[in-house]
């Protein structure tokens, strides 16, 4: 009789699957990634390791001693108090200094991200002095590395939130040249803001900066951030720079933008990481999106296949995003530990990533 | 890691190094300062602390090592280095630049770091 397993799906719910169905799901996930972005397929041993992780009836899976990896954060401190962009915080009535101390002394965090409640560079520039003040106080009482985190968030530069015409609106009107002009204007302003805020926080003593959700506005977002990294690395050679991505694939909002002679639209993680390194990024954080209709086993097989090419290409450390809706994690605010622990173990032991 | 509530706790237990409970923050600092891959950063820190790579994630061993070397612990022991004081010792022991330590030295007139 065929053994049954319980499998978490990308929508967060558990469903029963036979071992044969599970094995097929893992193979299909791996093939999907290989078909889309090419690169080396997972070996038989790697597929078996994945199957063992997902076929286990245990509620929690972990790495073997010696296979532990580093953990970096995005939006870390603000998840304990107010939340991200006005929603879904834990509601603790504490400031970011106390949040950082909790992460350090209670939750065993290796590092901490320190960001503004809107978690975007554009609004942060207006309150930079407040951000510096709280960072300086926090650095006196903590040990772990702390970097300032924010999103490039190029969308916030378009009307009515910002001064520039919206390229996506112009595109729907068939105004391609005007859309490209607007994109280029936005990029200049965004790069200037990112350099201004990151410089200010580094001057306050932060260990560096995390450009989170890079590429959220496609190639326009990606290029403006690469340029900011390049400027910052020249200005502060010792600055730590992490670049976490928004999605697995760079959308061509502009379509013709290049960096170092490489067209940005359509790049996959194994291609993105090379440009990130060239721009001076210290740690690159690829994203592989979660398909909510497929099992976590399917999604993590797909993730591990994309990461295999990425790790082969990477000359810098790689910390893939493994949170809500990405990295094989379900798209739920509170993610089931059986799913997170399996994904975490898989990328540490199969993909051999440097961290998460 | 990513979003959102409590997820970091699971990652920390499933695959994390343990932060200041062990040597996770020290390995992270070396990766951040020198751009080393995690495997190389672990070896670098283990050599500096004169422990094995496996010891780096052993909270019993690392609590003793951290106390002896003044690297700060999760427990705020009376008389032991904490916060900025511990970071001074970490920068010296690991032979790395820590931005906040350099800023502290600049502001207090201790000396100007070469990289400033």
Pairing of strands A146-150, A208-214: parallel
Residue A324: which of B2, B33, B115 has the nearest Cβ?
B2
- Cβ of A322 within 8 Å of Cβ of B11? The answer is yes
Nearest to B21 among A108, A203, A355 (CB): A108
pLDDT of A40 above 90 = no
Smallest CA–CA separation between B14 and chain A, in Å? 4
As a residue count, chain A comes to 356
Does the domain formed by A68-289+309-327+341-351 have CATH 3.20.20?
Answer: yes
**Alpha carbon of B48: minimum distance to chain A alpha carbons (Å):** 18
More confident position, A65 or B7: A65
| Tens digits of residue pLDDT in A153-178 | 999 999 999 999 999 999 999 999 99
In this complex, do B15 and A344 lie within 8 Å of one another by their Cβ atoms?
yes
In the predicted model, what is the mean pLDDT of chain A?
95
What stretches of A184-227 adopt beta strand conformation (E)? 208-214
Q: Which of A58, A63, A68, A234 to mutate to test the interface with B (most CBs of B within 10 A)?
A: A68
**Higher pLDDT among residues A39 and A112, named by residue:** A112
How many domains, in total, are found in chain B?
A: 1
Asked whether A316 and A269 are in contact (CB, 8 A), the reply is no
In this predicted structure, the answer to whether residue A22 has a pLDDT above a threshold of 90 is yes
> Who's near B79: CB < 8 A, 6+ residues apart?
none
d(CA A296, CA A188): 40
Whether B2 is covered by a domain: the verdict is no
Cβ under 8 Å to A: B residues 31-50: 31-33, 35-38, 41
Whether B25 and chain A come into contact, CB under 8 Å, resolves to yes
Residue B98 inside a domain? The answer is: yes
Residues of B in contact with A110 (CB under 8 A): 16-19, 24-25, 27-28
- Contact assessment for residue A144 and residue A112, using Cβ atoms and an 8 Å cutoff: yes
- The Cα A101–Cα A143 span in angstroms is 9
Q: What is the pLDDT of residue B115?
A: 54
**CB distance A82 to A117 below 8 Å:** yes
B91–A contact, CB cutoff 8 A? no
CA distance B20 to chain A (A): 6
Nearest CA in chain A to B87: A143
Is the Cβ of B52 closer than 8 Å to some Cβ of chain A? no
What are the two backbone dihedrals, phi and then psi, of residue A88, each rounded to the nearest 5 degrees? 65, 25
B53 close to A (CB below 8 A):
yes
Task: Provide the pLDDT for residue A221.
Answer: 97
Nearest chain A residue to B106 by CA distance is A205
Would you place residue A88 in the very low, low, confident or very high pLDDT band (cuts 50, 70, 90)?
low
Chain A residue with minimum CA distance to B74: A105
Q: Of residues A323 and A319, which shows the higher confidence score?
A: A319
Are B7 and A88 within 8 A, CB to CB? Answer: no
State the pLDDT at residue A147: 98
Q: Identify the closest residue of chain B to A348 by CA–CA distance.
A: B15
Q: Do B99 and A206 touch (CB under 8 A)?
A: yes
Residue-wise pLDDT tens digits, A182-195: 999 999 999 999 99
Q: What is the pLDDT of residue B64?
A: 97
The answer to whether residue B6 is domain-embedded is no
- Residue B103 covered by a domain: yes
Range of the domain at B29: 17-108
Which residue has better confidence, A243 or A93?
A: A243
Asked if the structure places residue B22 within a domain, the reply is yes
- Region A265-270 average pLDDT: 98
Q: What is the pLDDT of residue A100?
A: 96
Q: What is the DSSP string of B58-111?
A: -HHHHHHHHHHHT---SS--TTS--HHHHHHHHHHHHT---HHHHHHHHHHTS-
Greatest pairwise CA separation for chain A in angstroms: 67
Residue of B nearest to A106 (CA): B74
Q: Point out the residue among A76, A205, A239 whose CB comes nearest to the CB of B103.
A: A205
State the residue for tokens 């994203």. A287
Residue of higher predicted confidence among A40 and B62? B62
How confident is the model over A325-345, as pLDDT tens digits? 999 999 998 899 999 999 999
| Band of residue A77 on the pLDDT scale cut at 50, 70, 90 | confident
Residues of A with Cβ-Cβ distance to B17 under 8 angstroms: 68-71, 110
Q: Per-residue pLDDT for A1 more than 60? A: no
Segment A230-263, tens digit of pLDDT? 999 999 999 999 999 999 999 999 999 999 999 9
Q: In chain B, whose CA is at the least distance from the CA of A240? A: B32
Which position has the higher pLDDT, A118 or A316? A316
Tell me, what's the pLDDT at A176?
97
Write the DSSP assignment of A107-132 as a string of letters: S--S-EEE--TT-BHHHHGGGHHHHH
| pLDDT band at A83; cut points 50, 70, 90 | low
A86 pLDDT more than 60: no
A87 pLDDT more than 70: no
Q: Which two tokens stand for residue A143?
A: 């040990």
Q: For each of chain B's 116 residues, which pLDDT tens digit applies?
A: 766 667 888 999 999 999 999 999 999 999 999 999 999 999 999 999 999 999 999 999 999 999 999 999 999 999 999 999 999 999 999 999 999 999 999 999 987 655 55
Among A19-23, A59-63, A92-96, A262-266, which is the least confidently predicted range? A92-96
Give me the pLDDT at residue B4, please. 65
């Amino acid at each position: 009789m065929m053994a049954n397993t319980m499998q978490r799906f990308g929508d967060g719910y558990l469903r029963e699957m036979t071992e044969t169905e599970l094995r097929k799901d893992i193979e299909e996930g791996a093939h999907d990634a290989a078909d889309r972005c090419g690169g080396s397929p997972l070996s038989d041993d790697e597929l078996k390791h994945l199957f063992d992780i997902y076929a286990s009836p245990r509620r929690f899976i972990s790495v073997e001693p010696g296979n532990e990896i580093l953990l970096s954060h995005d939006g870390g401190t603000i998840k304990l108090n107010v939340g991200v962009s006005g929603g879904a915080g834990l509601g603790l009535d504490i400031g970011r200094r106390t949040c950082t101390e909790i992460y350090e002394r209670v939750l065993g965090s290796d590092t901490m991200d320190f960001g503004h409640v809107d978690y975007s560079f554009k609004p942060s520039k207006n309150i930079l002095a407040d951000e510096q003040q709280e960072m300086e106080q926090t650095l006196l009482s903590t040990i772990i590395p702390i970097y300032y985190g924010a999103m490039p968030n190029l969308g916030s530069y378009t009307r009515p939130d910002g001064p520039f015409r919206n390229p996506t609106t112009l595109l729907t009107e068939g105004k391609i040249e005007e859309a490209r002009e607007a994109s280029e204007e936005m990029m200049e302003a965004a790069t200037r803001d990112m350099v201004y805020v990151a410089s200010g926080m580094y001057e306050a003593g932060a260990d560096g900066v995390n450009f989170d959700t890079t590429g959220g506005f496609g190639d326009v977002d990606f290029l403006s951030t690469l340029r900011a990294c390049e400027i910052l690395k020249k200005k502060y050679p010792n600055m730590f720079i992490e670049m976490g991505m928004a999605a697995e694939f760079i959308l061509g909002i502009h379509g013709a933008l290049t960096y170092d002679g490489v067209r940005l639209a359509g790049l996959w993680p194994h291609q993105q990481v090379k440009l990130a390194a060239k721009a001076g990024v210290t740690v690159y954080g690829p994203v592989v999106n979660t398909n909510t209709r497929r099992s976590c086993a399917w999604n993590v097989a797909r993730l591990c296949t994309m990461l295999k090419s990425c790790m082969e290409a990477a000359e810098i450390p790689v910390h893939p995003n493994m949170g809500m809706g990405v990295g094989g994690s379900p798209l739920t605010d509170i993610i089931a530990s059986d799913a997170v622990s399996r994904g975490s173990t898989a990328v540490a032991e199969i993909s051999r990533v440097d961290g998460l | 890691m990513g979003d959102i509530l409590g997820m970091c706790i699971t990652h920390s237990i499933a695959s994390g190094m343990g932060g200041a409970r062990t040597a996770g923050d020290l390995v992270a600092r070396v990766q951040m300062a020198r751009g080393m891959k995690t495997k190389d950063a672990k070896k670098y820190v283990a050599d500096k602390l004169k422990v094995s790579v496996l010891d780096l994630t052993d909270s019993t061993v690392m609590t003793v090592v951290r106390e002896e070397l003044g690297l700060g612990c999760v427990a705020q022991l009376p008389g032991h280095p904490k916060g900025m004081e511990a970071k001074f010792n970490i920068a010296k022991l690991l032979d790395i630049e820590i931005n906040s330590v350099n800023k502290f030295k600049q502001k207090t007139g201790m000396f100007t770091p070469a990289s400033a």
